[in-house]
Amino acid sequence: MSTNPLVRTLRYLNWLCNPWHGLDAARIYELLATSSPTEHGLYLNLGFWQHANSVDLASDALAMRVAEAGRMDSDDRVLDCGFGFGDQDILWARRCRPRQIIGLNVTESQVALARRRVAEAGVADCVDLRHGSATDMPLPDASVDLVVALESAFHYRTREHFFREAWRVLRPGGRLATADIIPMPAATDRRMRRRQRISWGLVASKFAIPTENVYTQPGYRSALERSGFESIRIDSIREQVYAPLHHHLRAHPERLQRLHPIARLPARMTLGSRPESVYAGLDYIVAEATKPSTDTTAEGA
Ligand SMILES: C[S@@+](CC[C@H](N)C(=O)[O-])C[C@H]1O[C@@H](n2cnc3c(N)ncnc32)[C@H](O)[C@@H]1O
């Protein structure tokens, strides 16, 4: 990715303003680079704000919420899909001390920087970060205890391919945990439905969400079941994600300083609107599921 400021500006304009120019997830994250609104880390997630009062703490809390959903512990060999700059892996290595974390990420610049950060944090013996896709895992069957995807699976082509791959690489009895963005069920009120469509459409088009991944909670459950998972639990945490983040950023506009100037403008406009409208179409879920211990086979596998 070019570091020439003019080229970057043109790329931002093309991404944000050109409705016919769809970037794939890796190109979007190459463009965004390290422009996260965090103060200390480089997280790219929206955070779990139940008890947090900063972007860093909320991002840590979301990572821990996923670790809890997956019951991450010291015996586990974990596969982390879409690890961003590796903040979550450093956190889990320190707090949950799993046997090993293998990470897969399609954005090359993130992989390079995340590896350096993991080494600097002194956890490289436990964390092995690789360039690769969650939909084509370079791992043998039944080789990990837990697969996690922290705010990443909505990008995958497709999320259901990821579920099948996760099922394949998990040992019998292994777990899957995700924090994920899906659409809200359609409202009965016509004006609300319109707001939902606009809100979802903007996020889906700018953040490379394939149409195959557009389903609400019952669809998510069915996709997990079709892939062979059981003991499925899906919790919406949207009330602890979108509005609190919105209020926090509105109260701390300095957190937007790391954004590229072209991205700051729509971010400020968004923060000037009411969160009920901006996020009307967006649900935010934490999902957990288990691969059966008995030797059943995923449909079509
Ligand atoms: C919203 S960011 C979240 C990053 C990180 N989990 C965090 O919480 O800071 C989404 C991440 O998913 C990664 N990603 C997108 N598609 C992917 C794929 N098919 N396989 C693996 N990673 C992918 C992106 O490169 C990016 O790191």
Cβ-based burial of 151 (10 A; exposed 0-12, middle 13-18, buried ≥19): buried
Say if strands 170-183 and 127-131 run parallel, antiparallel, or are unpaired. unpaired
Give residue 151 CA to ligand 1 midpoint distance, Å.
7
pLDDT digits (tens, 9 = 90+) for 68-92: 999 999 999 999 999 999 999 999 9
The pLDDT of 9-29, averaged and rounded, is: 83
Give residue 190 CA to ligand 1 midpoint distance, Å.
34
In this prediction, residue 2 carries a pLDDT of: 65
pTM, two decimal places: 0.94
Average pLDDT over all residues of the chain: 94
pLDDT over 80 (residue 182): yes
Q: Which of 31, 89, 106 best tests ligand 1's pocket when mutated (most atoms within 8 Å of CB)?
A: 106
- Closest ligand 1 atom to the C-alpha of 150? 6
pLDDT over 60 (residue 15): yes
In this prediction, residue 296 carries a pLDDT of: 53
What are the distances in angstroms from CA 269 to CA 11, 219, 263, 265? 20, 32, 10, 6
In this prediction, residue 192 carries a pLDDT of: 96
Closest residue CA from atom 23 of ligand 1? 82
Give residue 104 CA to ligand 1 midpoint distance, Å.
9
Asked if residue 255 lies in contact with residue 272, where contact means CB atoms within 8 angstroms, the answer is: no
Closest residue CA from atom 14 of ligand 1? 82
In this prediction, residue 22 carries a pLDDT of: 74
What are the distances in angstroms from CA 77 to CA 97, 127, 167, 247? 10, 10, 15, 37
Domain ranges of the chain: 5-290
Q: Which CATH number fits domain 5-290: 3.40.50.150, 3.20.20.70, 3.30.420.40, 3.40.50.300?
A: 3.40.50.150
Give residue 134 CA to ligand 1 midpoint distance, Å.
9
Which of 191, 220, 202, 190 minimizes the C-alpha distance to 282?
202
pLDDT over 50 (residue 179): yes
In this prediction, residue 301 carries a pLDDT of: 44
- Closest ligand 1 atom to the C-alpha of 84? 27
29 lines ligand 1 (CB under 6 A): yes
Render the chain in DSSP notation, one character per residue. Answer: ----HHHHHHHHHHHHH-TT-PPPHHHHHHHHTT--S-SSS---S----SS--SHHHHHHHHHHHHHHHTT--TT-EEEEES-TTSHHHHHHHHHT--SEEEEEES-HHHHHHHHHHHHHTT-TTTEEEEE--TTS--S-TT-EEEEEEES-GGGSTTHHHHHHHHHHHEEEEEEEEEEEEEEPPPPSSHHHHHHHHHHHHHHHHHTT--GGG---HHHHHHHHHHTT-EEEEEEE-GGGTHHHHHHHHHH-GGGGGGS-HHHHHHHHHHHTS-HHHHTTTEEEEEEEEE--SS----TT-
Q: Which two tokens stand for residue 100?
A: 């090993």
- Closest ligand 1 atom to the C-alpha of 135? 19
What does the alpha-carbon distance between residue 114 and residue 147 come to, in Å, rounded to a whole number? 19
- Strands of 100-105's sheet in order across: 127-131, 100-105, 77-81, 144-150, 170-183, 282-290, 230-236
81 lines ligand 1 (CB under 6 A): yes
- Measure the CA angle with vertex 29, ends 140 and 196; round to 5°: 100
pLDDT digits (tens, 9 = 90+) for 94-141: 999 999 999 999 999 999 999 999 999 999 999 999 999 999 999 999
pLDDT digits (tens, 9 = 90+) for 234-293: 999 999 999 999 999 999 999 988 888 888 888 888 999 999 999 999 999 999 999 999
86 lines ligand 1 (CB under 6 A): no
- Helix 242-251 and helix 55-69, axial crossing angle in degrees, nearest 10: 160
pLDDT digits (tens, 9 = 90+) for 207-222: 889 999 999 999 999 9
What does the alpha-carbon distance between residue 126 and residue 89 come to, in Å, rounded to a whole number? 9
pLDDT over 70 (residue 1): no
